[in-house]
A = this chain, B = another copy of it.
């Protein structure tokens, strides 16, 4: 999250464990609501508890986990509240970042269009999400405010879990590429405000399908992963 240098030398077990856990959380190998047993998990990962705990602490401060003092760490459950809050944030951040980034050069525009074409034909959920994120990060690549970009990346991490869960069940509600085309069209005619507006709409629309899916899910299985109750009852 912080340093370019460290990312180039992922020497630490701590760091690589954190990255691994992040993957396990977003792809569901560590299900939402699950209580984490440090001994078992450290055995499974082949490391000791010390670096594992450092990783867990970091993930907790990133919001991926919840820590209950003498009880342990939990994978944060997927809740409608958090979803709506997270999805309300990117329409705020992304357009501002684009405004600061300014119009992309011809080469970048070309790469964006290429990405969008690949996105249109992508089928695998992980691919779709990965390409979409790549598109948006490239769009904001020139933004000089790296702190802002870090925040956006952080939000992306937090949304990925929801998006993956959605796309696993319903097969790929894809309207994003159309939004992207509108953004690109605005950029091509060098109309930054229009591009920002289109981007904002794009970010706002991403919410709807996930909200409705999660609502249905909540109705079906009441309170997905109410952490405490489940864990205490021994699951």
Contact = CB atoms under 8 A, between A and B. Distances in A.
Nearest to A15: B69
Nearest to A67: B6
A234 B14 CA distance: 22
Contacts of A147: 63, 82, 85-86, 89
A178 to B, nearest CB: 26
A224 to B, nearest CB: 18
A68 B4 CA distance: 9
What copy number does this chain have within its complex? 2
A233 interface: yes
Interface stretch (A51-59, A117-125, A166-174, A215-223): A51-59
A114 to B, nearest CB: 30
Interface centre among A5, A9, A150 (most CB of B within 10 A): A5
Interface string A1-39: 111111001011010000000000000000000000000
Nearest to A59: B61
A198 B85 CA distance: 24
Contacts of A69: 5-6, 9, 11-12
Interface string A194-235: 000000000000000000000000000000000000000111
A2 B64 CA distance: 9
Given A53-B54, A61-B58, A148 B88 contact: yes
A96 interface: yes
Nearest to A147: B85
Closest 3 A-B residue pairs measured CB to CB?
A: A5-B233, A85-B147, A11-B69
Given A3-B60, A5-B68, A58-B58, 4 more contacts: A3-B66, A4-B233, A11-B69, A88-B100
